[in-house]
Amino acid sequence: MEVRERIEAVVGSPVRTAVSQGSGYTPGFASRLRLADGRGVFVKAASSDRGWLVEAYRTEAQRLELLPLAVPAPRLQHLVEIATRHGSWLVLIFDDVGGRPPRRPWLAAEADLVLAAVRDLSVALTPAPAGHRWERFVQEFFTRTNVYFDRIAELGSLPDIGDQTRSLALAGLELEGVTLVHSDLRDDNILIDMSGRVWVCDWNFPTRGPIWADTLTVAIAMHGDGLNGDDLLARSGLVSPADEEMIDGVLALLLGYFYFSSSEAAPDGSPFLRAHQAWYARVAEDWLRQRRGW
């Protein structure tokens, strides 16, 4: 009750209804609130017993302030820190843009809609906004690539292409770029509103990379759901022939990351994360095999 009362005081109206949002793999509170005065807000919250999530939400709030208005991200209204008798909470209160995630399996029409929005997003974020020293995409996620592939070799997950994939991944560590990329773009971080506008949520890990990086990461699931990943990349208009080898390098990096992560114990509060990562690993492997003719 203490947290609810503070939220109501900050937004200036009692909460009438709350609809929890079930997508995603983070164990924090996420809910759409309908207020007595007719307004709606979206609230994310984490308690101090999950300190890593509190820091992730705090980082997200800081990064959102640096995004240009052209970026279709729900805007943060309030960041609230609440001390209760049972611990502290960090609460982020956003505009509620409404809408729903894309349907799964991916439909061609919705994939085209999302990819067009991602193209516009990537152009708007080139070059990356000033005001922060953005980490390189590969530096943020893939510094342990050799460890990942050592585990893959131990598990026998890629018996015929393990060495080639490791070499591609290590070459991918040279990836550079001047675009700010979301870095974790997938269907549960996307909303399509009633007008057909696409919104991109959960800016926890923005990094600096090539202009096609977000298109590649969101296209992995589309490829896994039966669409042709190479056609999707080609239609984006963001990929040149000179990028093809580095795209394979990034797919190899992602494959290694997902295979390794899926072999770890399930984290507290996120029982489905490892299955999600295992599926992404298999899809990235399938796409890479097709592209390399393996």
Domain range list for the chain: 2-95, 108-292
Q: Which fold has domain 108-292?
A: Aminoglycoside 3'-phosphotransferase; Chain: A, domain 2 (3.90.1200)
pLDDT at 71: 95
Q: Over 90: is that where the pLDDT of 82 sits?
A: no
| DSSP 8-state code for residue 284 | H
Q: Over 80: is that where the pLDDT of 1 sits?
A: no
- Give the start-end residues of each E strand in the chain: 15-20, 29-35, 40-47, 76-84, 87-95, 179-181, 190-192, 198-200, 207-209
**Tokens found for residue 167:** 């070499």
Provide the percentage of residues in the chain whose pLDDT is more than 70: 97
pLDDT at 50: 84
Q: Is 84 helix (H, G, I), strand (E, B) or coil?
A: strand
What is the dihedral angle through the alpha carbons of 209, 213, 43, 65, rounded to the nearest 10 degrees? 30
Instruction: Say which CATH architecture domain 2-95 belongs to.
Output: 2-Layer Sandwich (3.30)
pLDDT at 220: 98
pLDDT at 22: 55
Q: Over 60: is that where the pLDDT of 142 sits?
A: yes
pLDDT at 2: 80
Is 206 in contact with 182 (CB distance < 8 Å)? Answer: yes
Q: Over 90: is that where the pLDDT of 169 sits?
A: yes
On the 0-12 / 13-18 / 19+ scale of CB atoms within 10 A, 157 is: buried
Average pLDDT value for the chain: 93
Q: How long a stretch of residues is the chain?
A: 294
Q: Over 80: is that where the pLDDT of 270 sits?
A: no
